[in-house]
A and B are shown apart, each in its own frame.
Chain A
Amino acid sequence: MRQMVRVSDQTINEALRLGTSMAAIELMIPILKKYEIANIDVSLDYLPSDGVPKQILLHPLLRCKMHSSLEEIAQVRQMGFSKVIVSWLHQPSQSSLDQLIDALMAVREFAQDIYLCIENAEDLSIPELTSYWPLLSRYQVKRFIYQDVRSSLEPLGVCRKLESLQQTVPCPIEFHGHNTYGLATANSLAALRSGIQYVATAVSGVGSPNHAPMEEVLMAVKHLWKQDQVPSGSSLTADCIEILSYMGISLPVDKALIGRDVFAHESGIHVDGITKNPLLYEVIQPEEVGQTRQLIIGKHSGTASLKIKFLQWNLELDQAEALALLEKVRRLASVQKRPLSDLELHQLYWRRNQMDQSQLG
C-alpha cells in the first residue's frame, strides 16, 4: 500500500536565496544524495545570472522552477536545464490558460522532463484542478506538483484531497507543503499515506516560506511506519549540521531528531527510567540518527542521576550523600541558570569531602 518515499530537496534553493557560495553548494549536494533525493529544486529567481559552474547547472538531479513567461523559459533553456518546473498561480478570474499552454509548448521543445506546479493548489476545488488534467497528458508532464504555498492545509484534509485527485490525475502527483503553522511534516506524511510518493522537504525545514524538515519526514516513515527501505540515519545529525553550516545556519538545540539536546536527559524521573530501559523515554535510539545519549546534571536531577553519574567515575554514593549533594546541585543550577559541568560537579563533591575531613581533623 505505502510506497517508497522520495524527496524533492528545497535546501539548496534556500542556500541560493541566502547567497551561499557555489563552492559550498557543490559540497552540499553529495551529502543530500545519501537521502534518496529525487530532485534538487532551484528557482530561476535565485540563480545568479552568471557564475554558476557547469557541473552544478548540469547536475542530473537539478530541476529548475520558473514562471510561465517566455522570457524566463528562454533563459532556462539557455542555461541548459533539462528538467523544468512550470510554476503557475491559479487565479479565479483567469478566463484562459493560453499563457500556460504557450509555456508548456515552449518548454516541451527542449526539456526532457516537464513538471507542472500549481502553487496555490489548496485554493482550488476538485473540478478546478481537474480542468488542468488535459494539459498534463497533452504535454507529457512527468509529475503534477500540488503546492500549498500559504500553508492552508491540515493533515486530514491533505489525505482526503489527494486521495480524491489521484483517482483521475493522468500522471503521478508530488506534494509540496509549507510549514507556517508547524504542520508540514504531518501534511507530508498525510500525502504519503494517500499513496503519493514524492514530497518536498528541506534540511530542518529551511526555506522562505519554510518547509517540512527532511529528517522528520524520513525518520517518521522509517521508525513510526517501520518502512526500512528509507536510507539509514546513522550519520543524519552530522550531515544536517554540515549542510546548514555551509549556509551559516545553526540548529536549535531542541530540533526534533537532530538537535544537540534531544537525547539529553536531566529530570530525575527520566534519567532513572532511561537507565532501566531507554525505551521508557526514547522513541528511537540516538544512534539511529547519529547522536549519543547524554546525562545532564542540573536543577531537575534526582538522587538516582547523581549515583549513576558518579558510578561512571567509580565513586559509589550512598543515599544520604546523594541527597546532600543533590541539594547543592539544585542550588548551584538555579543560581547559575544552567546545568553543572562535570568539573563543577566534581568540585562540589570534593569540596564537601574536604570539609568533612577538616572538621574531623
Chain B
Amino acid sequence: MMDGKMGFQLVDTTFRDGEQSAGVVFSTEEKINMAIALDRAGVAWIEAGIPAMGQEEQETLRSLLALPLRATLIAWNRAELADIRASLSCGFSCIHISLPVSDLHISQKLKKDREWVIQQLRTALQLVQSYGCTITVGAEDTSRADSDFFLKFADVAAQYGATRIRFADTVGCLDPFMTFDRLQDVVKRCSLPIEFHGHNDFGLATANTLAAFQAGVQFASVTLAGIGERAGNASLEEVVASLEKFYGYHCGIEASHLGSLADLVAKASNRPLFPYRPVVGSVCRMTMQ
C-alpha cells in the first residue's frame, strides 16, 4: 500500500492554476520572488504559466527562465500549435499539453469526440517532440472520465515520449476512498508515471493527494496556500507536512520554509491567511510548535 514511497515529487502550479483563480494577478517581481523561494525550498517542478496568454505574459516567463534555478520550469499549453509555438519561442524546454478526457468535456465543451482528442494530441506532440522538449501531458477531468480512455490517451502520450500523465480531478468530485481505488487501478495499468491533480471544492484536496500517494502515483500538483480555481488546489504546505507526519516521507521540500512560502503568496494574492487554516494559519502554527 505504500508504493508511493518509491519516489514522489510535487509540481507547483501556483503561477498557472493558482493565478487562474478569479481576481488574482501576480506581478513579474512577485513571481520572480516566489520562484526563487520555491526553488530554495526544494521544489523541483514549477508550472510557470501560459505563454499563449500574450506578449506581456511571455516577457514575465522569459524573466523566470533567465533565473538561475535548479527547478524545471514548465509551460502550460492547450493542444494547439499556436500555443505551443508561443512556449517554444519563450525558450521553454519542458512543455505541458492539456486536453480533456471525459465525455462530458469532449462533447459539451469541445463539441468533438474521443477520436478527435487522440488525433489532436498526436498532432501537438509531434510538434513538441520535433523540438526535443521534455513533454508532460494533462488529462483534464479524468475523475469523471472512463479509465480505459484515460489509459489509451496515456499510451498515445507515451508513444511520443511524454514523461508523465496528469490525472486531473478538475471539479474536485473525489473523496479519498474513491481516489485510492481509482488510482490504484490506473497506476497498475498506465504506461506512464501519474501526476495527481486535486481540487478543493469539498475541502478534500490534501486528503485526496495523500490517497493518490498511497495508491502509488509518483507526482502531485500543488499550489502555495492552495490558491487556485474556485476553492483552490491541494496546498503545498499541507501535502508536504502531511507526507512527513503520516508516512515519514520527505519529498525534497524543506518543511521549515512552508510558513514563509505561504506568507509570500498571501501577500501577492492579497488574500490574508485564515487563522484557522491548516499548517500555516496562526492558530495552527501555535498548535504545531
Partner-B contacts on A (CB < 8 A): 152, 154-157, 159, 179-183, 185-187, 189-190, 193, 204-210, 213, 216, 219-220, 223-225, 249, 251-257, 259, 261-267, 269-270, 272-273, 276-277, 279-284, 294, 296, 298-300, 327, 330-331, 333-334, 336-339
Which residue in A205, A210, A298 is a CB contact (below 8 Å) of B22? Answer: A298
Query: Which of chain B's residues have a CB closer than 8 A to the CB of A283?
Result: 171-173, 201-202
Q: Is B38 an interface residue (CB 8 A)?
A: no
Return 25 A-B CB contacts under 8 Å, by A number.
A154-B242, A155-B176, A180-B287, A181-B279, A182-B238, A182-B242, A182-B278, A190-B177, A204-B276, A206-B276, A209-B287, A210-B281, A210-B287, A220-B204, A225-B175, A251-B274, A254-B228, A254-B271, A256-B202, A277-B109, A280-B105, A282-B171, A282-B230, A283-B171, A296-B23
Cross-chain contact B287 with A213 (CB below 8 angstroms):
no
B180 interfacial by beta-carbon distance below 8 Å:
yes
- Counting from the closest, the 9 A-B pairs by CB-CB distance are A186-B207, A182-B278, A216-B203, A264-B22, A182-B238, A256-B231, A266-B22, A283-B171, A182-B206
* Interface residue B200 (Cβ < 8 Å from any Cβ of A): yes
Q: Is A156 a contact of B180 with CB atoms below 8 Å? A: yes
User: Which of A159, A183, A253 has a CB less than 8 Å from the CB of B242?
Assistant: A183
Return chain B residues, CB-CB under 8 Å to A331. Answer: 56
A190→B235 CA distance, assembly (Å) = 21
**B51 contacts the other chain (Cβ, under 8 Å)?**
no
Partner of B283, one of A193, A210, A220, A276: A210
Question: Considering the chains assembled together, what is the distance between the CA atoms of A319 and B173 in angstroms?
Answer: 35
Which residues does chain B contribute within 8 Å of A277, judged by CB atoms? 104, 108-109
| Nearest CB in chain B: distance from A229 CB, A | 18
Q: How far does the alpha carbon of A331 sit from the alpha carbon of B78 in the complex, in Å?
A: 22
In the assembled complex, how far is the CB of residue B26 from the closest CB belonging to chain A, in whole angstroms? 8
Contact A337 B25 (CB under 8 A): yes
Q: Which residues of B contact A (CB under 8 A)?
A: 19-23, 25, 27, 53-54, 56, 78, 104-105, 108-109, 141, 170-173, 175-177, 180, 200-204, 206-208, 210-211, 214, 226-232, 235, 238, 241-242, 245-246, 270-279, 281, 283-284, 286-288
Q: Are A281 and B170 in contact, CB atoms less than 8 angstroms apart?
A: yes
B173 pairs with A185, CB closer than 8 A? no
Question: Smallest Cβ distance from A344 to chain B, in angstroms?
Answer: 13
> Which residues of the partner chain B approach A254 to less than 8 Å between Cβ atoms?
21, 226-228, 230-232, 271
Measured between beta carbons, the chain A residues less than 8 angstroms from B241 are: 181
Contact B22 A155 (CB under 8 A): no
Residue of A nearest to B200 (CB): A256
Complex: A102 Cα to B242 Cα, angstroms: 39
Shortest beta-carbon distance from B266 to chain A in Å: 10
Closest chain A residue, CB of each to CB of B55: A327
CB-CB under 8 A for A209 and B284, given A156-B214, A181-B245, A266-B22: yes
Q: B108: which A residues are within 8 A, CB to CB?
A: 273, 276-277, 280
- Asked if A327 and B23 sit within 8 Å, CB to CB, the answer is no
Rounded to whole Å, the gap between the CB of A44 and the closest CB of chain B is 21
Q: What is the distance, in angstroms, from B275's C-beta to the closest C-beta of chain A?
A: 8
Chain A contacts of B56 at CB under 8 A? 330-331, 334
Chain A residue numbers with a CB within 8 Å of B286 are 208
Residue of A nearest to B60 (CB): A334
A337 to chain B, nearest CB (A): 5
Q: CA separation between A270 and B170, bound complex, in Å?
A: 11
Most buried by B among A190, A256, A284: A256
Given A265-B230, A267-B229, A280-B104, list of 4 further CB < 8 A pairs?
A182-B206, A207-B276, A209-B287, A283-B202
Give A146 to B272 CA distance when docked, in angstroms.
33
Question: A251's closest neighbor in chain B, by CB?
Answer: B274
Contact of B230 among A207, A252, A263 (CB under 8 A): A263
* CB–CB A276/B109 < 8 A: yes
- The answer to whether A270 and B229 have CB atoms under 8 Å apart is yes
> What CA separation (Å) do A189 and B175 show in the bound complex?
8
A152 to B284, CA, bound (A): 14
CB distance from A37 to the nearest CB of B (A): 19
Query: Which residues of A have CB within 8 Å of B23?
Result: 253, 261, 264, 266, 296, 298, 338-339
Select B207's contact among A185, A281, A284, beta carbons within 8 Å. Answer: A185
Q: Which residue of B lies closest to A295 (CB)?
A: B22
Contacts of B173 in A (CB 8 A): 224, 283
- Whether A256 touches B211, Cβ cut-off 8 Å, given contacts A186-B176, A300-B20, is no
